[in-house]
Amino acid sequence: MSEYLSELDPGAASVGVVEKKFYTCAAPPSCLVLESGARFGPVTIAYETYGTLAPGRDNVVLILHALTGDSHVAGRYRADDAKPGWWEIMVGPGKGIDTDRYFVICSNILGGCMGSSGPSSINPATGEPYGLDFPVVTIGDMVTAQKALLDHLGISRLLAVIGGSVGGMQVLEWCVRFPEMVAGAIPLATTPRHSALAIAFNEVARQSIMADPNWNQGNYYGAAKPNMGLAVARMIGHVTYLSDEAMRRKFGRQLQDRSSFSFNFDADFQVESYLRYQGTKFVERFDANSFLYLTKAADYFDLADRGEGSLAAAFAKARARFLVVSFTSDWLYPTARSRKMVQAMKKSGLDVSFCEIEAEWGHDAFLLPSPRLSELIRGFLDRLEREERRQAARGEGGHAL
């Protein structure tokens, strides 16, 4: 995501210096029971919070990050830190998700490598990293771990859950798994299940990691890492996040630092150099095994399973008001999938708004500056507050704000 940070307005208001926190739960014998049937514990969740929690603990917005994101959604860890959080454009004082009004929480997902329990974490039974001894987790397991964090923080109601891509899958899961907790939901650039094409791209990426001789069946900690395999996996993924038009505008067929072809296998084209750079930067911050686990969790996700094969039946469990947003150039999770979700929501009698935003940058458009998206989110949150107040005043089970 670092390539987007140059788009930020350095003078924009920020939450300032923030701190990553940790919560550990589910110590044996009270382990987390996973959807696979496995029992796992202890579980550590890394998280960050922004803004002030209202006395009634009812101004909470939970942000759920995408596949390779983390809990650092806004602010900086040090005053001189050059890199802010991954959604600095959206989260902060006066921004779309206004930290002067809302208490914002973002946690690193279970199976990740940015502070939450994952395959690179130390197994207390052995004193070594779990590697492939870490259990396979699902989107549902990630949400269950997030629920444990909220219980620890004493939060029983969420004004909104918001997330894009795999974060959007978590939004959908929250709404049907813990419907009584969610007042509003904003799934961005997401899908209720992966297509065969999306699964295929993930499998090619996984195979690139597992084919790297340094992968060593996941036992590479303390030794040479499968950096080449992980870099290629990132390159594959990055292609799916962009659009043909975005790549044409950004690169075309322009050569990289040369006036003619090299007639060897160097990076002749700018797009080749860009992808190699993205792969190299990625291996500096991400764990190869986590990439395997998280892509598998995304592939397993199918919201219709919560409705015994019916998407409408799954959404019938939800109680939230929805704002569904798609982007015109997103070919990984195209608008047709969002429309299918909206149809199922309406069939289930849910209050749902839908917007397709014109954007040329592909799947990752939700991470880029977009005044329209900011205003949509701001307006939706404002509406949620008003309606929750009205419900509370009428004694209909709403929560006073």
Please tell me which residue in 165, 208, 338, 370 is annotated as part of the active site. 165
Cβ contact 337:302 at 8 Å: no
Active site residue 81: no
CA 383 to chain centre: 24
Please tell me which residue in 98, 212, 330, 364 is annotated as part of the active site. 330
Please tell me which residue in 65, 72, 194, 363 is annotated as part of the active site. 363
Active site residue 165: yes
Of 61, 45, 42, nearest to 53 by C-alpha is 61
Cβ contact 376:323 at 8 Å: yes
The length of the chain in residues reads 401
Active site residue 36: no
Non-local (6+) Cβ contacts of 163 within 8 A are: 63, 64, 65, 66, 169, 170, 171, 186, 187, 188, 190
Angstrom distance (rounded) from CA 47 to CA 289: 21
- Residues labelled as active-site residues: 165, 330, 363
